[in-house]
Amino acid sequence: MPAISRRLGIAGVFASAAANFLLLFSLQHALPAEKFGTFAVIQVIQQFGMAVSNALFCSPLVVALSASDDNRLTKSFLRASNIYCAIFSLASASYVYWLSNDVSLGIASVVFCALSWSRWFFRSVELARKNFTSPPKADIIYSLVVGASVAW
């Protein structure tokens, strides 16, 4: 079983990276330079937001869950993480809208940031609970959704 989990973990990370690369590659060819630049700003905001979310919520939760598997801890961190996601996803959408004057890019920013930050939180929770199969499955599902959106 550990070998399967390890392979699944590698496959999930690879699929996620490949889907993001495919998305960036296809957008680079499909969008005018200014729109692709706005998307690049969304990517930077998303990565920065994920680093902040990891520092404020994910890493401390992993440490806390290593000492106690109390569901109240997870719910408390989840609530705080959801508030963070809502506030900063809307802030990123406002900034992207200000840059581009395009409502659809603002909406895309909200969806992309909120989903990626939420996915990272739940991934951290499952890894802290030593559930090594759910995070790669989530990575693969994420990759299929991103891949389908690129194909669409």
**pLDDT one-digit tens code per residue, 48-88:** 888 888 888 888 888 888 887 778 888 888 888 889 888 88
pLDDT at 7 exceeding the cut of 80: no
CA-to-CA distance for 2 and 11, rounded, in angstroms?
A: 14
Phi, psi of 48 (to 5 degrees): -65, -45
pLDDT score for 5: 66
pLDDT score for 132: 83
Residue 115 contacts by C-beta under 8 Å, 6 or more apart in sequence?
A: none
pLDDT score for 136: 86
- What average pLDDT score do residues 5-25 get? 82
- Output the pTM of the full model: 0.74
Closest CA to 109 of 44, 31, 53: 44
17-44 pLDDT, tens per residue? Answer: 888 888 888 878 887 888 788 878 888 8
Phi, psi of 101 (to 5 degrees): 55, 35
Q: What is the mean pLDDT of the chain?
A: 83
Closest CA to 120 of 139, 141, 107: 139
CA–centroid distance for 76 within its chain:
20
